[in-house]
Amino acid sequence: MKAFVQDAYGPLDVLRFTDVEQPAVGDDDVLVRVHSAGVDPGVWHLVTGRPYLLRLAGYGLRAPKDRVRGMDVAGSVHAVGRDVTRFRPGDEVFGTCRGSFAEYACTPQSRLALKPANLDSVQAAAVPTSGFTALQALRDSGRVRPGQRVLIIGAAGGVGTFAVQLAAEVFGAHVSGVCSTGKVELVRSLGADEVIDYTREDFADGTRRWDLILDTAGNRPVGLLRRALTPKGTLVIVGSETKERWFGGVDRMLRALALGPFVGHRLRGVVSTERAEDLALLREYLKDGRLTPVIDRTYALAEIPEAIRYIHEGRARGKVVATVA
């Protein structure tokens, strides 16, 4: 099968589009014929091996442990292991795997769910990583409650577009979204009660305060973000892109966690996890229309390096997806 393979960390040209063996199917595994594969900013980090912290986090010290990149997948079940009870060949599924930038991907059955019929495979492949992150940041790290005032920074990005919808439609919060001028209408259409164009307005000028701030972009210092919190408010650092080689965008999260015990604000980070229960929840929200993926653009599988380059520029408007078959 064709796949993007990586044998060393480095610039995007370490990715080779080549023929590899189909992954072996374990007893609890599902082999998926990939139709679409979601792309997100984390892929750039896994290709380059930066920040170095991620190598220590188990992805491989000198070279990546998994050769094929890509986590988010939507496709049809091609084969199942003998212990698989939830799926059979032909089922349309979505979820996560190790190696979706390929024609076939293998993953444990718990990482997949049936694709909602109202979504096409591009929309379904856009969901898992960003959806998990938005859900877990709001619910688990943020402990969001109905009626709270929630500010989402990076509201038009991959995580932000899910976070705005979840905060408004699922958790019943009053949502303010922060984005650039051209994305104001998009963020409003996702259910934000108020949209702040950060090129014109400073949300941290002290005139407004929020119970919960979810920060997915912009690298604003923790001290500045705290100025926009209510006295007992919560800040959740989801991520941000920097060129720092050791910690990258994680340094702000670490600083917030270190400061947390000494201040009245709750300062939290989030490390999203692939949970079967959360995939099932997201599926319900997608089915009943409370969540609709926003697709910025699609690329062919062979164009994966361009897709990663585009995402890494940090100007995405929703999600980027590679179409495979």
Ligand X SMILES: NC(=O)c1ccc[n+]([C@@H]2O[C@H](COP(=O)([O-])OP(=O)(O)OC[C@H]3O[C@@H](n4cnc5c(N)ncnc54)[C@H](OP(=O)(O)O)[C@@H]3O)[C@@H](O)[C@H]2O)c1
Q: Which residues bind ligand X (CB under 6 A)?
A: 40-42, 129-130, 133, 153-154, 156-160, 178-180, 183, 198, 216-218, 238-241, 249, 270-272, 311, 314-316
Q: What's the min distance (Å) between Cβ of 184 and ligand X?
A: 9
Q: Are 9 and 69 in contact (CB under 8 A)?
A: no
CA atoms within 13 A on the CB side of 149: 13
Q: What's the min distance (Å) between Cβ of 129 and ligand X?
A: 6
Question: Token pair of 269, please?
Answer: 């980070």
Select 31 or 237, whichever has its Cβ closest to ligand X. 237
Select 96 or 240, whichever has its Cβ closest to ligand X. 240
Q: What's the min distance (Å) between Cβ of 80 and ligand X?
A: 29
What DSSP assignment string belongs to 197-233? ETTT--TTSSS--EEEEEE-SS---HHHHHTTEEEEE
Q: What's the min distance (Å) between Cβ of 150 and ligand X?
A: 15
Q: What's the min distance (Å) between Cβ of 215 and ligand X?
A: 9
Helical packing angle, 128-136 and 276-287, nearest 10° = 100
Q: What's the min distance (Å) between Cβ of 87 and ligand X?
A: 26
Select 29 or 40, whichever has its Cβ closest to ligand X. 40
Measuring CA to CA, which residue among 129, 9, 1, 3 is closest to residue 65? Answer: 9
CA distance 246 to 236: 21
Select 88 or 309, whichever has its Cβ closest to ligand X. 309
Select 34 or 316, whichever has its Cβ closest to ligand X. 316
Q: What's the min distance (Å) between Cβ of 75 and ligand X?
A: 21
Contacts 24+ apart (CB under 8 A), 142-147: 142/212, 142/214, 142/234, 142/236, 142/268, 143/234, 143/266, 144/171, 144/173, 144/212, 145/171, 145/173, 146/171, 146/172, 146/173, 147/172, 147/173, 147/174
Select 85 or 199, whichever has its Cβ closest to ligand X. 199
Residue in the shown chain whose Cβ atom is closest to ligand X: 157
CA distance 96 to 105: 9
Select 45 or 115, whichever has its Cβ closest to ligand X. 45
